[in-house]
Chain A
Amino acid sequence: MKINTANFGEIDIDESKIIEFKDGIPGFEDEKQFAIILNEDPENPFHYLQAVDNSELSFIIMNPFDVFPKYDFEIPKVSKEKLGIENEKQVIVYTIVVVPENIEKMTTNLQGPIIINTDKKKGKQVILDDDRYGIKHFLFSKDPVKGDA
């Protein structure tokens, strides 16, 4: 199906790749469908999470383990239920990246990972109640924000 995006214009997405976010995501509760637009460059860890129904709405996402190999958390039971997760192999994790004017100060939200059940095409931003992780972790600085993950 064709979707409109502010970043790429009109693109063609296989309907089977569309992920259902039943509760939307915090701040955007009405957006129930997103597509993951993977970077064409296989060495580039940054991708897009694009709202299907809103061309202006897209987020830069990354695989948090690329930069924070010690990142670890339990997916809360309620979220496992909602996503129909039966085993770890079904799960893929992304975190949203915020890029300010000075791109060296970009941060990622480790407290609200985007969890996707790749078998069922269901996604959710899960909120972790975990002291180790905050909403802004610098990708580049060794200065910990809420500790090095």
Chain B
Amino acid sequence: MLILTRKKNESIIIDGNIEVKIVECEDGRVKIGIEAPKNIEILRKELYDKIGSENKTAVSKNINLTDMKNLLKK
């Protein structure tokens, strides 16, 4: 992982067209501004990870879809 130290209002440029700027920096919280092309998706990591782990628990093993359907139709 590349580690850089930035002060408030300083930025980083990624791949020539993504800019990450430190907008506010106080009280243990950093407000980050991101400028990126519209095909670049930006997400809070914990949200991405939450979906990833839920997907892992979802991998289906030998479940009877008919049983499931019957429950739903009850």
Contact = CB atoms under 8 A, between A and B. Distances in A.
Interface of A: 6-7, 25-28, 39, 41, 43-46, 48, 56-60, 67, 76-79, 81-82, 96-99, 103-104, 106, 109, 111-112, 125, 127, 129, 135-136, 139-140
Nearest to A56: B59
Contacts of A136: 54
B17 interface: no
A43 B69 contact: yes
A82 B68 contact: no
Given A60-B65, A99-B68, A112 B51 contact: yes
B interface residue count range (under 10 / 10 to 19 / 20 to 34 / 35 or more): 20 to 34
Nearest to A99: B63
B40 interface: yes
A139 B58 contact: no
Contacts of B69: 39, 41, 43-46
B41 interface: yes
Given A7-B62, A59-B60, A78-B39, A127 B47 contact: yes
A81 B37 CA distance: 11
Nearest to B69: A44
Given A46-B65, A135-B51, A60 B71 contact: no
B58 A98 contact: yes
Contacts of A44: 65-66, 68-69
Given A43-B73, A46-B68, 20 more contacts: A26-B48, A26-B51, A26-B52, A27-B53, A27-B56, A43-B69, A45-B72, A57-B59, A59-B58, A76-B41, A99-B60, A103-B67, A106-B71, A111-B51, A112-B51, A112-B54, A112-B55, A127-B43, A127-B48, A135-B50
B50 A27 contact: no
A96 B14 CA distance: 34
B29 to A, nearest CB: 18
Contact of A41 (B47, B48, B66): B66
B5 interface: no
Contacts of A82: 39, 41
